[in-house]
Amino acid sequence: MTGKKVTIKDVAKASGVSIATVSQILNGKDQNFSTKTVEKVLKIKEKLNYEPDYFARRMVMKKSKTIGVMVPDISNPFFSTLVRGIEDVLFQESFITMLCNANEENERESNALEELSRRGVDGFIIASSAISNEDIDRLLRNKKHPFIILDQKSSEGDSDTIGTDDFLGGKLAAEHLKELEHMNVAVVVPKNITQNIQRRVDGFESIYGTGFKLIEVESLSKKSGREAAKEISESNISGIFAINDEIAFGLYLGLKELGKTVPDDYSIVGYDNVDMCEYMTPPLTTIAQPIYELGRQTAEMLLDRIEHPEKEWESKKLPVNIINRFSTTHA
C-alpha cells in the first residue's frame, strides 16, 4: 500500500467484511456486530494506518465537527481566555475550532464568515462587534446556520445570545469610587463604543449622573490607556474607571511616565479581571467577569442549538462582581 492512500475498501477487504460493516464500526455503531468482528476491523485499521476521508465523511454525516469563532482581537487576554473555555468544551465533544481574528474590521470578518460557510462548519460563535447585522442575516440567519452571539454584539432577530451583566459592572465600579469619596472621576472608553461597553457607562452613570468626564481613546488597548494619561493628568480627576483591564494597564505606565503613582495620585478600577491584574504593582481593583465560564457556556449553548435547531431561543446573562485589590484608595 506504500504511496497509495488506504481506503475503507482496503480495510473491508483485509478484514473479510463488507464496506458497510467497516463504516458502521468506525463510526461508533458497533453494537450490531460481534466483539470479534469489531476487534478485527479496528486491528486492521491500525495495521493499515487507515484515516477516514474527511470530506467524504462529511458528505455522509452532514457534519464537519468544526466551529467557527470570531473574535475582534486575540491579543487581548480576555478573548484568549474566552476561547480556551470554548475549546475545552468543544474538545470534549470531538469538535475543533476555526478561529478568525477580525482585527475590528467589518470586511475582514465578513470574508471570514463567507469562507467558513463554504467550508461547511457546523456553527458559529460571534464574539466581535465588527460584523454587521446585515451580514449576519445574509451569511448566517438566511442560510439557517446555527450561531450564537456574545453580547458585545447586538442580535437583531432570532438567535441565541450570552453575555455578562455590564450595567451592574459599571454600577459596581461607580459605587466603589464613590464610597472612597472620589467626586472628580473619569471613564475611559474607545471611540467606537460597543453596546456592552455602553451598558457599563450607563451603569456608572446611574451612580454619578452626568458628573463624570468621558475620555475617548482609539481602542481597548494598553497603548490607548497610556496615551490617555496625559489628558487625565491635566485635569482635577482623582478616580478612573477604565472600561477594560488593558486600558487600565496602559494608564499605569502612562501615569508613571508623568511622575504619578497609583493609588496615591489616582485610583483606578478596571474591567474583566484578566490574570495580569494580580501581577500589576499595585494589583488592580477590577470588575470580574467569569470569562472562562462564559466561553464554556457559549460552546454548550451552540452545541445544544446544533442538536436541537427548533428549540426556543435562549438568552443568558452571567453575573459580575468587584475584586477589591490595591489600585484604589480614599480621595
Cell 499595585 -> residue: 282
**15: amino acid identity, one letter:** S
- Extended strands (E) in the chain: 66-71, 96-101, 123-126, 147-150, 160-164, 185-190, 213-217, 239-242, 267-272, 285-288, 315-318, 321-323
CB within 8 A of 294, min separation 6: which ones? Answer: 82, 85, 150, 162, 163, 164, 318
Please give the pLDDT value at position 156. Answer: 53
The domain made up of 8-60 has a fold known as 434 Repressor (Amino-terminal Domain) (1.10.260)
Nearest alpha carbon to residue 208 among 248, 189, 180: 180
DSSP string, 12-79: HHHHTS-HHHHHHHHTT--TTS-HHHHHHHHHHHHHTT----HHHHHHHHS---EEEEEES-TTSHHH
**Nearest partner of 252 among 239, 237, 238, 263, judged by Cα:** 263
Angle between helices 19-26 and 35-47 (to 10 degrees): 90
Domain ranges across the chain: 8-60, 64-163+291-316, 166-290
End-to-end CA distance of the chain: 78
- The pLDDT value recorded for residue 57 is 56
* CB 330, CB 146: distance < 8 Å: no
C-alpha–C-alpha distance, residues 212 and 193, integer Å:
17
Query: What's the pLDDT score for residue 1?
Result: 42
CATH ID of 64-163+291-316, from 3.30.50.10, 3.40.50.300, 3.40.50.2300, 3.40.190.10: 3.40.50.2300
pLDDT of residue 118: 80
User: What fold, for 166-290?
Assistant: Rossmann fold (3.40.50)
How far apart are the C-alpha atoms of 324 and 314, rounded to whole Å? 33
Phi-psi category of residue 295: left, alpha or beta, with phi > 0 → left and psi -120 to 50 → alpha: alpha
Q: Tell me, what DSSP letter sits at residue 228?
A: H
Asked, colleague to colleague, whether 64-163+291-316 and 166-290 share their fold, the answer is yes
Distance (Å) of CA 279 to CA 251, 273, 275, 285, 327: 15, 11, 8, 12, 12
pLDDT (tens digit, 9 = 90+) per residue, 16-42? 988 888 888 877 777 888 888 888 989
Evaluate whether 101 touches 131 at the Cβ level (below 8 Å). Answer: no
Residues of the chain with pLDDT under 70: 1-3, 52-63, 104, 130, 151-157
